[in-house]
Every structure is written in structure tokens, then in C-alpha cells.
A and B are shown apart, each in its own frame.
Chain A
Amino acid sequence: MLEPLFGADRRDLLDEFEAGQLAVEFDDATPQEMIAWTLERWGPRAAICTSFQAEGMAILDMAWRIDHRVRLFTVDTGRMPQETYDMMEQVRARYGIEVEVYFPDAQRVEGMVRRFGPNLFQRAVEARLLCCNVRKVEPIRGVLERLDAWITGLRRDQWASRANIRKLEIDHEHGGLAKVSPLADWTLEEVKQYNEEHDVPVHALYAQGYTSIGCAPCTRATRPGEDPRAGRWWWEKNAPKECGIHCPIETGAFEHELDAMLNPHRGGPRETVR
């Protein structure tokens, strides 16, 4: 298990009504305003979650300019590309902050690999979902349990069915902490422009044609015009249809799919259909 991020489990959580009102008030706010409010309200109980893609880096840069004490966390799944470790170094050097790197539970990984082999994700969708779950999703959940707010790089235009996300929501997927998406109404072009103008470090894989950055064996470059989803798990047939750009854990979709694929009848009523 991870060490608690803070000794006492002291929580400052929004209630649903308050969150709904605030989300509307904040809808016109700039990313910086959203981040400033988040850091002011929650301080070290808030943290940025990133895999060092363009959105997360823009948010880090904005947040760091507001408060150098901003927290940044990431998960090292054990299968990251070298370029991602290089980004961690660049962030440390550029911003002088610690990158909070969390690892999956060793026993869980050992058990999985022993039973299904290191490349289980290539065999079946269920195996890939299991691998994502053990190596990435569980460690993130462990961090979220100790936070009151997390800041994500979700944008409304990343995936058409994601267009209704709010800049501030209660994350009911993860115990009710706040989920803040300061870039919700930005386009990728705006993000890139911000990063250029502020000399923000850029992940080296973008220059090689990657549109999405995740684990090394499960991510590849896409050709211009090719569906960005082709950059993730391109060998899969009959996988749940999801955005290939941003990890669906940030939308809750991953957990829903895992549940639905592994327990297809969970939650339905019992023998009641008249």
C-alpha cells in the first residue's frame, strides 16, 4: 500500500448542489482562474494528474506560475517509454518540483505476470483491461483516495461523447473528490500555442507522430489523417469504443468497462421483469 499523503484523513468535499452551482459560475473562467481557485481552496489536498502529454504540461506550467508548491503526480506502470522518464527529469529541472511517481502494487503485478505472462495485453481485451487496471488504474485510485481534488487535462473536443464535461465536477467514480478540468473548452491548438509561448517542455514522442502517450508496448505513432485511436491498442477487435487520446480513467469510463466486461450482469434487478 502507498503511504498516506497526509497523516490525518481530513477532507474538504463539495456537496452536489454546491458543485453544480460552482461549475456554472466557473464555466467562463480561464484555465488559470480555475487552477488558482482550486489551489486556493485545497492547497496540497489538490494535485495534477499527468502522463506528460501536452494538456498536463500546460496545466503544470499555469499552476506553477500561480504557486510553486503545486503537486504533480504520475504513475510509472513499469512499461513507460524512455521519453516519459526524460520528461520527468525535464520537469524536475525546469520547475524545481518533485514529480510524485507512484508504482503499481508489486504483488499484484507479479501475480498477474506470473499467471498471464508479461505481454498479456496482446491476447485479449479482458487481459488488456486487467493489465491497465493493475498497472495504472489501481495506483491512480490509491492516490485519489488521499486527495480532495484532482486536476486533469480533459478537453471537451477530445472525444465527441465527452463534450458535456464540466470544469468542476464531483468525481463519483472515486469517492466523491472534486475533479477539475481547467482546459475543458480549449482546443488542442490552444494548448500547443500556450506551450510554445511559455517554452513548456514537450514530450519527445510527439515529434515522432504520436498523438497519445501511454505505455510503450500499447502506444504507437499515427499517420496524418489516421484516426488517433489507432495509436492505442491497434490490434484489438471488439474492444469498448473509447477515446484513444486520454486515459478513460479520467472520465470514469475505464472502470465502467472493466465492470461491464468482467461482470456483465452486475447491478441488474433479480427476476423482476414482468
Chain B
Amino acid sequence: MIREPQAEISWELVRKRNFVERLKAVKGGLDVIRDLPAMIEAGYEAVPEEDFVRLQWYGLYHDKPKLGYFMMRVKIPGGVLTPAQLRTIGELSEGFGRGHGELTTRQNVQLHWLELAHLPEVLAILARDGMTTTGACGDNVRNITGCPVAGIDPEELFDVRGLLDEAAAFFIGHREYSDLPRKHKITISTCPHQCNAAEIHCIALAGVRRDGRDGFGVRVGGGLSTWPRIGDDLGVWVPAGEALGVLQAILDAWRHDLKYRMSRAKARLKFMVHDLGPAGLRARVEERLGRRLEDGALPPPPDEEFDHAGVHPQKQEGLFYAGFPVYLGLMSGTTMQRLADQVAEFDGEIRLTRRQNFIVSGIPGERLAATVAAIEGLGFPLAGSGLRASAIACTGDPFCNYTVAETKGKLQDIVEHLETVFGPAADGLRINLDGCPHACAHHWIGDFGLQGTTLRERGPAGERLHGYDVFLRGGLARGAAIGRPVLRRVPGPEIHRVIERLFRAYLEGRQNKERIQDFFTRHSDEQLGEIGLGPGAALETVETGGDADA
């Protein structure tokens, strides 16, 4: 009953079937910036929605409700910020937003409550300080991420900062690569812990040295959202000097194949890798390059995920870096400026991590204790907050138009409950809480993945009640896997107890030193449902494809 894809796909057909391709053909996303003054003149109400979609090319989305305020995503390639840049972001949040920013799972910073009329000034200030929002959203190469301690970690294979910055600069605002079939996520790292979530990126370059030469294995076709997929090994080894060319060739193979422009539901690179297999994509890439790539392989996976928390010596003699937890990934503009002041004293850097925390680098040994104490004093204590570092939630309420349930507020309830019950035993537990299926907080790969939903039942005043689907068995590193929804529509007020029961079962029942992912994998859905819901519970467990109702 499913039609075979058309043999010949024309641009005409693409634009007939795909509204956003039509929109881009009328006026490209990058071109909207020329119209910004006219849009401001006309006023928010009068601006056609198409132009708000195009503003995604500059990192802008409607805040909620859609009354004229915007979320702005600032790209931070590799997550590395100078103190001056962080200070500027803090000042912008106070001057044009409502005084706070959020750290994201892709090393961006997001501000909220910006007004249309202020956008030109905000963009100009960011540009003045070497930052951009160009391509932060929309059909672009998004922020290129990496290991947050690139260039300073003694264990890294080689320094990729030059390549990462070069690639970021190349793709930002590049007209050809700003009309992709859909968003595109690249990560580049030589971190021995492979801390950068290569498995879920469209393309990941993973450091591999060969005969004394720097180079990369290449992983392609990962992604989450509603069609999660762990990326595959392209089977090649690419010398570091050719890496940018190979990135372009992969993008070219994808963006010129109109099959991936017919529908946005199937446009991302992961669908192409799924269709062709890694060998098929490799052949297309080699065709583009006009030469064979050397055979190669990804580095073997690490045993565990890693976040570079705590204090460590750098490869630079006498310098240290320290990773601090940011509770819920939120930071006030004032704190950003104070943190920037601290780090400016020794000309260090602030490096954002994908678990929404930050690392301060370049701390001279003689200032280490004082600096760490001062930053802890800003509200980022190193000790006793391992769960606050590892638990993440997406933007969610009150900002995001997509979220169905509370996210950061609910995460706070869960974290504080688990801290009370388990103390340090819960440190490092990866709770990934999302408000909707878009999976910005990666619920598919958390130790506990939570996705917001609503209950069928209503509250006493007829109000909607929030619930969460619980995803287990997902994770990165060795045995990387997409989790499955095991418990469904757990009421919001119950969710922390469900996690408590499952986590306790793991602590008491783990064999040897098995990871929580492995513990959940060797238990059936029914067993986990019984554990999670506790004695006497009558919640519904998930059935796939059959009659439901437990």
C-alpha cells in the first residue's frame, strides 16, 4: 500500500509537495535579513509567517505565546567562549531579554523574550564580539560541536580546534550550504572518551591516527527526534587536511539528491544512510570527490559516557581546567557577567558542555583554589551535585511552543527527590527530560528518558493533567542503543517515585558493575512496569500494536 518513490524527481515536484522548499524558492532563509527593517516597520502582527520561518536561519523562533517575542540561539562552535563573549551574552540577556540564558545540549546559548525591533542591534553586538546566530536553526549546518576540552586535554589524540573553527567559518552563511534539505548536525572530536555524542549526529569525525598522521574515522546518519537512529561507520579514514572537503562531499551527495527534498519528514541525512547503507553513501561521496577514500574504521567505543567534570591538569604546563555543574542548564545574565569577570582575570575560557554545564579552562595552578572557590560561590558547587550536572531537560515551559508538559521545573522536582532519597548514589545518573517528541534533551538515550504527554483523565477543574512516557535501555558509548518507551503516561506527580523505584531496583539488583542500561535490558517490559509502578498500581503499560490496557 505504500507507493514506490518516483523514479524521476524534479524541482517542480519537490516544490509542489514540500511547502518549505517552496518557501525557500520564493526567498531564501538567509535573504530575510535584508527585510528585517521593513518587518520591524510593519510590526509583528503584519509580518507573514513565512518570514518568521525564514528567521530560523538567524537562530530565531517564536517564544510562547506568539505575541512578538523570540528565542535566539547563539552558536558557539565547539562550545568555546571568551570571557568577553560570555559577558556580552549576559549583557544582552539583561538589556534585551529578561535576564537569563540557557545552555543547550549542542553547546549553544539561548536567550528569550527578545523583541523584533531589537534584533538588528542584538545581532550587531554579537557580530562585534565574534559571535553569530546565522544557521543556528533552519535548514543549515547547525552549531558544530566537539569535546569541550579540545586543545587542552592531555589525553586527546590531537588538537582539532583549527579544523572545527575552519569548518564552522566555512559553513556559516555559505549560500550553497544554507539551503539544505533539512537541519544538519556535525561534531568533530579526538576526545578519548568520545564525549561528544557522535552516535546521534548526522556526521561525526572521530579522531584516529594512522602511521603518525592525524585523521578521522567518520560516522554518518545518526539522529533522534521521532525517528531515532544510531549513526553508522562510513568505513573510511580521512586525513585531517582533507576533512573539510569530505564533509562538503557528504553534504553535496545529500543535498543534491532530490529524493531527500520531497518531504521534511524524511529529509535528514539519516534517511539517506538508512536507504543506501554506509557503503552506498560512501560510493556517492567518492563519486563526488572523484577519488577513493582510504578504508578505515571508527575508534572502539568507550565503556561509559563522560562529561569532563571536576578539576584536571591541562596539557599546557601549569594550567588546569575545572568542570562545573549548571543546575537545569540555566544561568542568569548577572552570573554570566560575574563568571566572565572571574575568568578574565587569568585570560581563560568558558567551554560549554553538551550536558548543559561549563568548564573553565586556562586556570594557572597558583590561582586554582581561589578561582574554583569563587566560581563555586556563584552557585556552581563542585562537590555534592553530581546529579545536578548529569540531569538535563529541554527548554520547555514557559517558552517553547511545542512542549506538552513542564520540563525544567519537573526535572527540579525529580532531582531534589532523588538527592533526598539516594544522596551521592544518584550522582551521574543521566535523566534526559523532554517536553515533546523533538527530543532536544535526548530522551531516547538517557538512563531515564522522559517525554512529556497528557493524561486522558482531567483534573478536578477540567484542566489538562501532565504525564510522562518513560524510556529505558537507551545510551551512548559501548552498546549504544535507542531506548524504548516502557512505561506510558505516568502522571506528573508520580514520576519521581517511578524513577526512584526503578533506580533502587538497579542499585540493589545490579550484577557485578553492570550499567543501568544493561540492567534494564535484561529485564522485560512487564518486569520493569511492575517495579516502576510499585505494589498495587494500576497504571497502563505500553502495548505495541495490540489491545492495550493492563
Contact = CB atoms under 8 A, between A and B. Distances in A.
Partners in one complex: yes
Interface of A: 9-21, 23-30, 33, 36-37, 138, 141, 145, 156-157, 159-161, 163-164, 166-167, 169-170, 172-176, 185, 187, 227, 237-238, 240-243, 252-253, 255-257, 260-261, 264-270, 272-274
Given A27-B263, A265-B398, A269-B330, A172 B66 contact: no
Nearest to A156: B19
Given A176-B488, A185-B263, A267-B397, A28 B3 contact: yes
B100 A273 contact: yes
B25 to A, nearest CB: 13
B316 interface: no
Contacts of B542: 15
B452 interface: yes
Given A12-B546, A273-B332, A176 B409 contact: no
A186 B226 CA distance: 22
Interface string B526-550: 0000000000000010111111110
Interface string B212-237: 00000000000001111000000000
Contacts of B452: 172
A171 B490 CA distance: 16
B454 A173 contact: yes
Contacts of B53: 160-161, 163
Nearest to B182: A164
Interface in B398-433: 398, 401, 403-412
B2 interface: yes
Nearest to A174: B454
A12 B547 contact: yes
Contact of A172 (B401, B437, B545, B548): B437
B396 A267 contact: yes
Given A21-B227, A161-B52, A238 B409 contact: no
Contact of B52 (A30, A160, A243): A160
B51 to A, nearest CB: 8
Nearest to A243: B49
A176 B488 CA distance: 9
A257 B66 CA distance: 8
Given A23-B265, A176-B489, A269 B328 contact: yes
Given A18-B544, A18-B545, A241 B485 contact: no
B174 to A, nearest CB: 23
B297 interface: no
Contacts of A164: 264-265
A24 B271 contact: yes
A171 to B, nearest CB: 9
Given A21-B227, A25-B2, A28-B2, 13 more contacts: A11-B547, A15-B485, A16-B451, A20-B225, A24-B271, A26-B2, A30-B3, A175-B489, A185-B263, A187-B16, A238-B68, A261-B65, A269-B328
Contacts of B48: 160, 227
B61 to A, nearest CB: 9
B327 A36 contact: no
Given A174-B454, A241-B44, A267 B406 contact: yes
A270 to B, nearest CB: 7
A265 B398 CA distance: 6
Given A11-B549, A145-B456, A241 B20 contact: no
A253 B458 CA distance: 19
Interface of B: 1-3, 5, 16-20, 22-23, 44-45, 48-50, 52-53, 62, 64-68, 100, 225-228, 262-266, 271, 326-328, 330-332, 335, 378-380, 396-398, 401, 403-412, 436-437, 451-456, 458, 462, 464, 469, 471, 482, 484-485, 488-489, 540, 542-549
Contacts of A260: 64-65, 398
B1 A274 contact: no
Contact of B454 (A33, A166, A172): A172
A3 to B, nearest CB: 16
Q: 5 nearest interchain CB pairs? A: A267-B397, A274-B379, A267-B406, A175-B456, A20-B226
A267 B226 contact: no
A257 B456 contact: no
A272 B64 contact: no
Q: Which of A11, A21, A26 is the most central at the interface, judged by chain B CB atoms within 10 Å of its CB? A: A11
B155 to A, nearest CB: 30
A170 B437 contact: yes
Contacts of A252: 404
Nearest to A9: B549
Contacts of A273: 100, 330-332, 335
A156 B1 CA distance: 22
Contacts of A36: 1
B265 A241 contact: no
Given A176-B488, A267-B397, A10 B549 contact: yes
Contacts of B485: 15-17
Contacts of B401: 253, 256
A163 B20 contact: yes
A253 to B, nearest CB: 7
A28 B5 contact: yes
A240 B66 contact: yes
Contact of B65 (A21, A169, A257, A265): A257
Contacts of B455: 175
A19 B546 CA distance: 14
A20 B19 contact: no
Contact of A266 (B19, B67, B398, B488): B398
Contacts of B20: 160, 163
Nearest to B99: A273
Contacts of B543: 12-13, 15
Given A163-B19, A272-B330, A256 B378 contact: no
Contacts of A227: 48
B392 to A, nearest CB: 13
A274 B380 contact: yes
A159 B49 contact: yes
B429 to A, nearest CB: 18
A19 B67 contact: no
B227 A268 contact: no
A269 B412 contact: yes
A16 B406 contact: no
Nearest to A155: B19
B49 A161 contact: yes
A176 B66 CA distance: 25
18 contacts: A11-B540, A15-B543, A16-B471, A20-B225, A24-B265, A145-B456, A160-B19, A169-B226, A172-B452, A172-B453, A172-B454, A173-B404, A185-B18, A240-B67, A241-B62, A267-B397, A267-B403, A274-B380
B334 to A, nearest CB: 9
A187 B456 CA distance: 33
A166 B328 contact: no
A159 B401 CA distance: 15
